[in-house]
Amino acid sequence: MKIGIGSDHTGIELKGIIIDHLKQQGYEVIDYGPNSPESVNYPEYGEKVARALVAGEFDLGVLICGTGIGISLAANKVHGVRAAVCSEPYSARLTRMHNDANIIAFGARVVGSELAKMIVDEFLNAKFEGGRHQNRVDMITAIEQQG
């Protein structure tokens, strides 16, 4: 499975830790930046990863900012993206199983690196259940398509 990852400046250190963690498990990881610790704007990286996801460059995404909120809000403006902010593993698993979330987001100022690894692992190891959940995801898509 191919994973796309991006952050803002607050998430850059944790981004590196998560990339190493994923590579150790055999995932192919595409890093959409940033590549230096200078201050950047989270909407730019949320959008970059979101557009790459819908273009099919990778299967599932990871976004990190201070809280995970701003960067996920930006990503969710791109049609087809369902980015979920999760600060613990249970929600991370359920957002794949029920919401078919395709991006997991979290805050480098909220979670430590070990918890972040657990959040990512639960997200990536879970499978969308479909069925009644598919209907609900379709309803979200319909809202998106109404503009």
Q: Which residues bind ligand RB5 (CB under 6 A)?
A: 8, 10, 42, 65-67, 69-70
Question: Which CB, 112 or 130, lies closer to ligand RB5?
Answer: 112
Question: Which CB, 33 or 66, lies closer to ligand RB5?
Answer: 66
Question: Which CB, 63 or 100, lies closer to ligand RB5?
Answer: 63
Shortest CB 142 distance to ligand RB5, Å:
28
Shortest CB 68 distance to ligand RB5, Å:
7
Shortest CB 128 distance to ligand RB5, Å:
27
Q: Does the annotation count 98 as an active-site position?
A: yes
User: Contact at 8 Å (CB) between 72 and 45?
Assistant: no
The 10 Å Cβ neighbour count of residue 146 is: 6
- Provide the sign of the torsion angle of the four alpha carbons 36, 34, 41, 64, taken in this order: negative
Active-site entry in 65, 79, 86, 133: 65
Closest among 107, 51, 41, 110 to 76, alpha carbons compared: 51
Active-site residue set: 65, 98
